[in-house]
Amino acid sequence: MTHESRITNHESRVKESPHKGKTGIKRVWNALFYSIDGLAAAFRHEDAFRQEVFLAALLIPTVLFLPASGLGKALMIGAVLLVLIVELLNSAVEAAVDRTSVENHPLAKRAKDIGSAAVFIALVNVPVVWLLVLFG
């Protein structure tokens, strides 16, 4: 069996989501509701995400009253939103790892620790960006 036929054979056995075939506006419409479901699930089940949403709800309106250029304000808001994005990805990794197994395993710990480190870096980025914009 050639390499190409093995790939084709494997691809024919992979079970794809039934929603993968959707195209155009129907796909975009479905994606919107999947995204809303994901945000709601994160807010409902993830304490850290709720805390970071609260922080964002305080910081983002504050930006509007600070003496910064439009670009500076965009960077400040972007830094805050980056925390939420990274937290969502970290929560997704944690959920997938927990779905695979709840037993302690070095690779599961590594995956979760790396996700946590990414959130930490995103959080450190917020005051760095804000201080540079305001005082740099």
> What residues are labeled active site?
87
Output the CA–CA distances (angstroms, integers) from residue 125 to 23, 97, 119, in the order listed: 37, 26, 10
Nearest CA among 135, 130, 122 for reference residue 88: 122
| Neighbouring residues of 30: CB distance < 8 A, sequence distance ≥ 6 | 19, 22
CA–CA gap between residue 47 and residue 119 (Å, rounded): 14
